Structure 1
Amino acid sequence: MPTDLHTILGDLVSVNHRLTRVAAHAANNPESPAVWRTLSVLLQSGSIRLGALASRSRVSQPTATKLVSHLELRGWATRLADPLDARVSQTAITPAGEAALLDWRSELAAALLPMFADLPADDVATLERAISILRDRVERSDPSDPSGLVVPFGAAS
């Protein structure tokens, strides 16, 4: 009997989180997962106000402020004047931040490669197709909707 879509989607989210944790542990990168999640949101959204960044990153505004300060110190993000309101600023990823994020994603992929290296070509093709479907669905979601999907490490960019 086929599994229903609701169960499949729940399993997908669960396995994705586990896969991300396994990859992050194997890569042994010292940065917090919140740093990479925040850079991923910035890459996906472009410059963004702090409150929206906090919402999309699923952290409190004080935590987002600390994350942005850390990213600024690393040269991975910058604050820009908000063109609509001079009292607030927006945060944007820098080229160095984008390079760091892409390097981290490459570290994750390299860490997972031994686990998947023996997959038959048909299974690799299935993974490629699944990624295409997921990317399409995520990109069609409204990024301003707090219930929208934010991909932790992979296919969003």
Structure 2
Amino acid sequence: MTRDDDLQRLLLAVHALTRIAALDTQSEAPAAQWRTLTLLRDHGPQRLGDLATLSRVTQPGMTRLVHQMDAAGLVARTAHPGDSRVSVVTATGAGLAALERWYEQFRGALAPHVADMSDDEWQAVSVAAAALSARVGLVPVGSHEVPAKKEKEAVR
């Protein structure tokens, strides 16, 4: 088995776990909502177009999603300080609290599916999660401070 095969197996397993947890939590909120809140939590306020790019969706799709999330009180839209035609999207306190509750439900849904893993398996998961998270720039769990540089870039 090659390294590429290992990465593909890992990716497919993560996707399968995500689907299982989504079904088990019976959450009716779209996955894109949680992804968007996570991006805003980890990268700070974003221009709408930049948020669409980060999330890898179209700008019209992100506009619709942000409109729904704004109506639900999960995000706030403000005018860009340098260009009032541009919207800047920020996660609200209610949005971040909802995100944390969803992550708790998600972890709870996954727990029974991995409860029988050995300590060695957990160690392998921990090492893989840390290594891959670092490579893709994910913020470590529990560390949600936005670096000043990223925050400045978000509203330029």
Structure 2 residues without counterparts, runs of 5 or longer: 145-156
Matched residue count: 143
State the Cα distance separating 1:86 from its structure 2 match.
2.4
Q: Distance in 1 between matches of 2:8 and 2:115?
A: 26
Cα shift readout 1:32-88 (whole Å, capped 9, x = no counterpart):
111111112211221111111112212221111111111111111001221232221
What percent identity do the matched residue pairs reach? 38
Matched residue type, 1:21: R
Counterparts in 2 of 1:71 and 1:156: CA distance versus 1, 3 Å: farther
Moved more, 71-80 or 122-131: 122-131
| TM-score normalised according to structure 2 size | 0.82
Counterparts in 2 of 1:155 and 1:62: CA distance versus 1, 3 Å: farther
Matched residue type, 2:77: R
State the Cα distance separating 1:155 from its structure 2 match.
9.3
| TM-score normalised according to structure 1 size | 0.82
Give 2:124's match in structure 1, choosing from 117, 123, 126.
126
The equivalent of 2:16 in structure 1 is: 18
The equivalent of 1:117 in structure 2 is: 115
Q: Distance in 1 between matches of 2:116 and 2:109?
A: 14
Cα shift readout 1:99-121 (whole Å, capped 9, x = no counterpart):
11111111111001111112222
Matched residue type, 1:102: E
Give 1:39's match in structure 2, choosing from 13, 37, 40.
37
Give 2:67's match in structure 1, choosing from 59, 66, 69.
69
Equivalent residue of 2:27, what SS?
Answer: coil
State the Cα distance separating 1:27 from its structure 2 match.
0.9
Q: Distance in 1 between matches of 2:54 and 2:142?
A: 16
Cα shift readout 1:6-51 (whole Å, capped 9, x = no counterpart):
2222222222111111111111111011111111221122111111
The equivalent of 2:99 in structure 1 is: 101
Q: Distance in 2 between matches of 1:16 and 1:115?
A: 12
Structure 1 residues without counterparts, runs of 5 or longer: 141-150
* 4+ residue runs over 6 A deviation: none
Equivalent residue of 1:75, what SS?
Answer: coil
